Amino acid sequence: MSARGYSELPVGPVILDAGNSRLLKTGAWRTINRPVFKEENCSQCLLCWLFCPDMAVRVEDGKVVGFDYEYCKGCGVCAQECPGKKGQKAIAMEEEKK
Amino acid sequence: MARVMAVTGNEAVAEAFRQINPDVCAAYPITPQTELMQRFAAFAANGKVDTEIILVESEHSAMSACIGAATAGGRVATATCGPGLALMWEMLFVASGMRLPIVMAVVNRSLSAPINIHCDHADAMGARDSGWVQLWSENAQEAYDNTIQAFRIAEHVDVRLPALVCMDGFIIGHSITRIEFLEDELVKGFTGEYTPLNPLLDIDNPKSFGPLVLTDQYHEYKYAQHEVMWTKVRDVVLGVAAEFEKVSGRRYGLFESYRLDDAEIALVILNSAAGTAKDVVDSFRERGVKAGLLKPRLFRPFPYAEVAQALGGLKAVAVLDRADSFGGYGPVFTEVCSALYPLAKRPAVINKIYGLGGRDFLPQHAERVLKELEEIAQTGRVSVIKEYIGVRE
């Protein structure tokens, strides 16, 4: 959000436009690792979607299709919780490229 | 037809609250404010008001609940004093920062230690910088009138700030005096309906209160508070006072000027002690001494230019403070000096600390100060700038 002059502010600090947290792109906070989706190991259990503390697991037609890196902070909870298939996780945390 | 009654100051303000019938009142009892909320709670219990009374476990919670209720969109009133106001300190800034027009009666009491329940202005002076509008009252009538006006001032669309109304604990709060109450319908018509700006209970328009505002925007929010206090409140106070005079016949301004027009020496003094001091000013006038008095009403925002105009032509002024800033001057003194400093020619000004913890302010105290001012006016010499009066050595 752009910085506003005092005369442009609401009377008191109140956010009047609901749901505007989507404007805050928190993906920039991700510094070490990013989750990478490996579809061949995914059983579509959606645990990653359920556990994601943000809303960074992209789901289309009820299926995980990848991650929204504009919001993913790289916490790794999804990879930790992923049961995968036959001992192979569907989410790998890979080093964030600078 | 006004109803003439004999009531305490606390009762008078409780009556104003009854007539205004706020939506919510969250409060915690503390001497000498207890009687005020006790009487108002009785109105609520007896169905005389629709107010939701919220009983809380501390004044910090009282003000927090008031803030929540005001954010929801309610008209909110409360009352406290002394240590109770001190415990609210954190939340006072939240109320003003969120621009919530909460009205609070402050029945001035000293701060501990040593523990003391009597009149002293340290409580409200501690809230001086909290962003609340402050109105001060000499007697129960003024406390009642100021309370009614405070809702209009706080809720004015150009203001939207919390306001507190001070009266002296025990001396006014618990003393029974004659008072003229306005008719209920008149008060309801005067205060009118309150329309909140962004009520949280307007669920069709969801919004968030209490966001984190850091280095990029906080400065502007504080400037907005400064701007409204500095440029808007005074005119609103005067406008509301003019309307109030029409319905009540009682005139209010930013301060009371008592025999100041041709005065050479004057006392500046808040609240009940001004009544005592006015009698003494009269006796000096009878002796041919051109004495006067200025009693501040609006202390925040402080009307610097108007005070400078009222006092600038005098020879000597004594500012009497019922609170001290240890290691500094009294709080009213510093304001009066700030007001006078820009003038090319200004009176000599001295500071007297009086009446702490409810110590009586007697006519002889005012006499001694006026005599000292006479001498300063003659010689132009000030020997001691700040001094306690009536203190035993």
pLDDT at B134: 98
- Of B248, B272, B287, the last residue of a domain is B248
In chain B, which residue's Cα lies nearest the Cα of A16? B207
Contact A18 B100 (CB under 8 A): no
Q: Among the three residues B202, B222, B248, which one is the final residue of a domain in this structure?
A: B248
Instruction: Let me know if residue B342 belongs to a domain.
Output: yes
Residue B195 touches partner A, C-beta closer than 8 Å: no
Q: Which of A7, A9, A14 sits opposite B208 (nearest CB)?
A: A14
Residue A1 has pLDDT above 80, yes or no: no
Could you say which of B213, B248, B283 is where a domain stops? B248
pLDDT of residue A22: 84
Q: Which residues pair with A15 in a beta bridge?
A: B208
**CATH (domain of B359):** 3.40.50.920
Query: What is the C-alpha to C-alpha distance for residues A36 and A46, in angstroms, rounded to an integer?
Result: 15
Q: What is the pairing mode between strands B298-300 and B316-321? A: unpaired
- Domain containing A36: what range? 25-95
Question: For residue range B167-203, what is the model confidence (pLDDT) as tens digits?
Answer: 999 999 999 999 999 999 999 999 999 999 999 999 9
Whether B371 maps to a domain, the answer reads yes
Of residues B97, B198, B206, nearest to A10 (C-beta):
B198
Residue B226 included in any domain: yes
Domain count along chain A: 1
Domain shared by B139 and B170, yes or no: yes
Which residue's entry shows tokens 């400078």? B308
Kindly list the residues from chain A whose CB atom is less than 8 angstroms away from the CB atom of residue B211: 13-15
Mean pLDDT score, A69-96: 95
Q: Do A13 and B210 touch (CB under 8 A)?
A: yes
Domain presence at residue A20: no
The reply to whether B174 and B322 lie within a common domain is: no
DSSP annotation string for A22-75 = GGS-GGGG--SEEEEE-GGG-----HHHHH-SSS-EEEETTEEEEE-TTT----
Give yes or no for B99 touching A (CB within 8 A). Answer: yes
- What are the pLDDT digits (tens) for A22-74? 888 999 999 899 999 999 999 999 999 999 999 999 999 999 999 999 999 99
- CATH code assigned at A62: 3.30.70.20
Asked if residue A19 belongs to a domain, the reply is no
Residues B241, B263: one domain? no
The CA distance from B383 to B350, in Å, is: 9
Question: What is the SS3 assignment for B219?
Answer: helix
Give me the pLDDT at residue A98, please: 63
Query: Quick one: B334 and B234 in the same domain?
Result: no
Tell me which residues of chain A, numbers 37 to 76, contact chain B at a CB-CB cutoff of 8 Å: none
- Chain B positions touching A12 (Cβ under 8 A) are 97-100, 160, 197-198, 209
Do B291 and B325 share a structural domain? yes
How far apart CA B5 and CA B315 sit, in angstroms, is 42
Nearest CA in chain B to A6: B220
Q: Is residue B81 located within the same domain as residue B222?
A: yes
Interchain CB distance below 8 Å, A16 and B99: no
Give residues 142 to 161 of B whose Cβ lies within 8 Å of A. Answer: 160
Residues B206 and B333 both lie in one domain: no
DSSP string over B145-176: HHHHHHHHHHH-TTT---EEEEEETTTTTS-E
Please tell me which residue of chain A has the smallest CA distance to B99: A12
Residues of chain B with pLDDT under 50: none
Taking the CB of residue B143, how many other CB atoms lie within 10 A of it?
Answer: 29
Count of Cβ atoms closer than 10 Å to residue A29 Cβ? 11
- What's the pLDDT at A23? 87
The encoded tokens of residue B143 equal 């406390």
Counting the structural domains of chain B, the total is 2
One domain, residues B108 and B77: yes
A5 interfaces chain B, CB cutoff of 8 Å: yes
Q: How confident is the model at residue A96 (pLDDT cuts 50, 70, 90)?
A: confident
Note whether A15 contacts B: Cβ–Cβ < 8 A.
yes
Q: Which residues from A are below 8 Å from B202, CB to CB? A: none
Q: Which of B160, B206, B224 sits opposite A9 (nearest CB)?
A: B224
Q: Is residue A9 part of a domain?
A: no
User: Within a domain: residue B304?
Assistant: yes
Interface with B, mutate which of A2, A9, A14, A26 (most B CBs under 10 A): A14
The CATH number of whichever domain residue B115 belongs to comes to 3.40.50.970
B387 CB-near residues (< 8 Å, 6+ apart): B350, B351, B352, B353
Q: What number of other Cβ atoms are within 10 A of residue B211's Cβ?
A: 10
Based on the fold, state whether residues B367 and B309 are members of the same structural domain: yes
Q: What is the pLDDT of residue A21?
A: 82
> In terms of domains, do B352 and B374 share one?
yes
* C-beta atoms of A15 and B99 within 8 A: no
Contacts of A7 in chain B (CB under 8 A): 224
CA pair distance B362, B332, nearest whole angstrom: 20
Nearest to B28 by CA among B45, B41, B43: B41
Query: For testing the chain B interface, which of A1, A4, A15, A20 should be mutated: the one with the most B CBs within 10 Å?
Result: A15
Give long-range contacts, CB 8 A cutoff, 24+ apart: B239-246: B240/B149, B240/B152, B240/B153, B240/B156, B241/B149, B243/B152, B243/B190, B244/B145, B244/B148, B244/B149, B244/B190
Tell me if B18 sits within 8 A of B49, measured CB to CB.
Answer: yes
What is each CA distance from B359 to A47, B19, B259, B274, B390, in whole angstroms?
71, 34, 27, 15, 8
Domain range for B170? 3-248
pTM: 0.92
Give residue A2's pLDDT band: very low, low, confident or very high (50, 70, 90).
low
Nearest CA in chain A to B197: A11
**Best of B207, B212, B218, B219 to disrupt the A interface by mutation (most A CBs within 10 Å)?**
B207
Q: Confirm whether B347 is domain-assigned.
A: yes
Handedness of CA B364, B354, B266, B229 (dihedral sign): negative
Gap between the Cα atoms of B337 and A58, Å rounded? 66
Among residues B187, B139, B110, the alpha carbon closest in space to that of B8 is found at B139
Q: Do B235 and B259 lie in a common domain?
A: no
Is residue B234 located within the same domain as residue B267? no
